[in-house]
């Protein structure tokens, strides 16, 4: 499965960063390309919470239904698609020795086969690096601004 790995470092306390990332209402504000992220279950946080999401990449709107498949308060959130665009994204939060918070991010995706997959890959792959950088910048600005 192709994917991206990245580490974000911030001066914001780990629990504050986790709370911001874990709040579904914030996702379109900081995650690159996400135009819609709405719960489809009464549970909106924690293991089993499920969301419908739309991500705009180039001219394409990619839709997924994502379920939280791993969750530990203050430590980890992993979302796995159960329908639509095949993606898994994970966020792992830790206190660093220098007093900062590190967030290890992974974004893995599976493209469909054939011409459709190659066409979609030609849209996604060139923007992934820039998307990760923009997501990091937006997330850092949001959590550092909120804790100031």
Domain of residue 127, residue span: 3-147
Q: What is the pLDDT of residue 42?
A: 97
Q: What is the pLDDT of residue 31?
A: 81
DSSP H or E segment with residue 116: helix 114-147
User: What's the whole-model pTM score?
Assistant: 0.80
Mean pLDDT of the chain: 83
CATH number at residue 137: 3.30.530.20
Q: What is the pLDDT of residue 131?
A: 62
DSSP H or E segment with residue 42: none
Token pair in block for residue 24: 């579904």
Number of domains in the chain: 1
Q: What is the pLDDT of residues 74-123, one digit of tens each?
A: 999 999 999 998 888 899 999 998 989 999 988 777 665 565 555 555 55
């Amino acid at each position: 499965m192709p994917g991206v790995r990245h580490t974000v470092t911030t001066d914001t306390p780990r629990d504050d960063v986790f709370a911001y990332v874990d709040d579904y209402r914030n996702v379109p504000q900081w995650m690159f390309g996400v135009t819609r992220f709405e719960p489809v279950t009464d549970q909106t946080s924690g293991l089993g919470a499920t969301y419908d999401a739309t991500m705009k990449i180039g001219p394409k709107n990619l839709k997924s239904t994502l379920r939280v498949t791993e969750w530990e308060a203050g430590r980890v959130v992993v979302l796995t698609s159960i329908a639509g665009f095949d993606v898994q994204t994970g966020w792992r939060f830790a206190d660093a020795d220098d007093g900062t918070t590190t967030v290890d991010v992974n974004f893995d995706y599976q493209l469909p086969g054939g011409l459709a997959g190659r066409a979609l890959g030609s849209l996604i792959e060139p923007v992934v690096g820039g998307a990760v950088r923009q997501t990091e910048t937006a997330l850092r600005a949001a959590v550092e601004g909120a804790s100031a």
